[in-house]
A and B are shown apart, each in its own frame.
Chain A
Amino acid sequence: MLELKRITKVFNEGTADEKIALRGVDLTLAPGDFVTVIGSNGAGKSTLMNIISGRLSPDIGEVWINGRNVTALKEHARARYIGRVFQDPMAGTAPHMTIEENLALAYNRTKRRTLRFGVTKQKREWFRETLRTLHLGLEDRLTAKVGLLSGGERQALSLLMATFTKPDVLLLDEHTAALDPARAELVTELTKKIVERHNLTTLMVTHNMEQAIRLGNRLIMMDGGQIIFAAEGKEKEELTVERLLEAFQRIRGSQFASDRTVLSS
């Protein structure tokens, strides 16, 4: 479904600030795979997400989605295949527009935008049905401005907007990191439910090791622009935070260094 071939990215090449963000990363996600990504600071997780979504383009390497080489496609063109939720709850929605208008914008992700009304009676009904699955009462606030929602509500809405059109690939970029523990738990549960319901091929970056172990069927650990550890199936199910840290130390010969990583919840 998603295939990354030898992705390499260098920032500020040839200057004193040169930084190799990704070194020949190869990664293949089969349809329905749910891969969680953990890694220390500057491991290249965000760069990887930005390269898949098309916000950045790789120096070397190719991105394939659904058997199609999309490396040359711009972000907006590639977005037809990709749903994305950002870390910042403010980033995934338009604050001065209503909930139904935001959903209408998301609804057209896979379709050509026309001069027909964005919110019709039919769509409104469907939006209401879909919002009901969040159990946040948003279905009764269709005409409320999104800026009035709390961070957790906005993030849940962003998640819904990214997924209700069933993207080929779902990218979750630390989407619970900016929320308080209770809301983070809520959004995590929603994520699990939605991904299962639509059987979405998902790549989720997280700074929460416990979350990375709990969710998904595969786990990869990144460091220094490379994938240094991968686990799937039974091996993944048997992972613990301690074992992950051990693995890191064994491979890298150093302590896992991150000021943000939550080792347990």
Chain B
Amino acid sequence: MFSSVEAGLIYAVMALGVYLSFRILDFPDLTVDGSFVTGASVAAVLIVNGANPFAASAAALLAGFAAGVLTGLLHTKGKINPLLSGILMMIALYSINLRIMGKSNVPLLQQETVITKITAVWQKVGLDAALNHLVSFTGFAPRTWAVLVSMAIVALVVKGLLDWLLKTEVGIALRATGDNKPMVASFSANTDWLIVSGLGLSNALVAFSGALVAQYGGFSDVGMGIGMIVIGLASVIIGEALFGARSVARATWAVIGGAIVYRLILALALRVEFLETGDVKLITALIVMLALVVPNVLAAQKERQRKKRRARQLERGETVAGAETNYKSV
């Protein structure tokens, strides 16, 4: 459970990237499946070759940005439909990721990573003892709090930056592009440029998350991105359903929450005897399907009940809002 929250926080960065493309730009960007691995591979290969893991993670971020920009150019300049632009980039990135790694899997177990570095500093300071003391009444003591705390900070910083960006003049134009594109052009904003940079930013976050996941999990694998867009969507949709999305700041909280809840649901599901690790994708797909369908069914049911109630009230001769004849409004 504890590791689910850790993983949830790392994947939250990816989910925030998906939120940016899917919700803000209204662009279902499948590049994510490829750019996540691009981030992981770039970071892994650089680390194996002795680069500083922090620099390697930053490089992953840039690589993701480049991938997103290419998808954006395919769509805006190449006039390819959004889904197809993403799919084309995703497939192209599969080969590129193999080239970057030179093989299908790069292990990082013996390497210095962002995670090991932070944990080392953390233990020197001795914060674990203090935090364990704080929760001692629960009788629970994790291996280390370092990953949880540091990744929570990373997720919050990304959330904060995203919230800020979307409130700026450029950010408002970016949001309006996803809301009403023709109108944005009539207020002299270049929507092509906004879409390209928005997708770049989105995939930068995704790749950065990929780099962190590789370092957290101890390997980069060419198949690790399969279904990543669905995981991102699951986080966004679950989060919005549970925590609401009235404002951008609220929605970004919700996305982080959704990413964690998704990991928790997955961990619980995998405890069921019958299910295996190979079923993860199926479970993810089912979660997204349920998260999309259930609210609609509930709303429809509520509406039916409301109508029934009104019909009953009318039969009983009670006054009902809107049912009295009102010639004034005609």
A residues contacting B by CB (< 8 A) are 53, 55, 74-80, 82, 84, 90-97, 101-102, 104-106, 108-110, 113-119, 161-162
Residues of A with C-beta under 8 A to B188 = 76-80, 108-110
CB of B296 within 8 Å of the partner chain: no
Q: State whether A76 touches B189 (Cβ < 8 A).
A: yes
List, sorted by A's number, 25 A–B pairs whose CB atoms are closer than 8 Å: A53-B186, A55-B185, A74-B190, A76-B188, A76-B190, A91-B183, A92-B186, A94-B176, A97-B175, A97-B176, A101-B176, A102-B176, A105-B176, A105-B189, A108-B172, A108-B173, A108-B187, A110-B188, A113-B173, A114-B168, A117-B167, A117-B169, A118-B167, A118-B172, A119-B167
A90 to B190, CA, bound (A): 20
Chain A nearest CB, measured from B145 CB (Å): 35
Q: State whether B180 touches A91 (Cβ < 8 A).
A: yes
Chain B nearest CB, measured from A92 CB (Å): 6
Residues of A with C-beta under 8 A to B190 = 74, 76-77
CB of B46 within 8 Å of the partner chain: no
B residues contacting A by CB (< 8 A) are 165, 167-173, 175-176, 179-180, 182-191
B169, B180, B187: the one within 8 Å of A79 (CB) = B187
User: What 5 pairs between A and B have smallest CB-CB spacing?
Assistant: A79-B188, A94-B179, A118-B172, A113-B169, A94-B176
Residues of B with C-beta under 8 A to A97 = 172, 175-176, 179
A55 to B173, CA, bound (A): 19
Q: State whether A117 touches B168 (Cβ < 8 A).
A: yes
A95 to B179, CA, bound (A): 7
Residues of A with C-beta under 8 A to B183 = 91-94
Chain B nearest CB, measured from A138 CB (Å): 18
A94 to B25, CA, bound (A): 13
Contact (A94, B180) CB under 8 Å given A75-B186, A105-B187, A108-B189: yes
A162 to B167, CA, bound (A): 21
Residues of B with C-beta under 8 A to A55 = 185
B176, B186, B191: the one within 8 Å of A84 (CB) = B186
Residues of B with C-beta under 8 A to A113 = 168-170, 173, 189
Q: State whether B176 touches A115 (Cβ < 8 A).
A: no
A53, A82, A90, A105: the one within 8 Å of B173 (CB) = A105
B165, B167, B184: the one within 8 Å of A105 (CB) = B184
A74, A92, A115: the one within 8 Å of B169 (CB) = A115
User: Closest residue to B181 on the A side, CB-wise?
Assistant: A94
User: Closest residue to A83 on the B side, CB-wise?
Assistant: B186
User: Closest residue to A98 on the B side, CB-wise?
Assistant: B247
A75 to B183, CA, bound (A): 11
Chain A nearest CB, measured from B321 CB (Å): 19
Residues of A with C-beta under 8 A to B184 = 76, 94, 105
Q: State whether B179 touches A104 (Cβ < 8 A).
A: no
A126 to B169, CA, bound (A): 16
Residues of B with C-beta under 8 A to A116 = 168-169
A53, A78, A101: the one within 8 Å of B172 (CB) = A101
Chain A nearest CB, measured from B203 CB (Å): 20
A84, A95, A118: the one within 8 Å of B171 (CB) = A118
Contact (A79, B167) CB under 8 Å given A95-B180, A97-B172, A97-B175: no
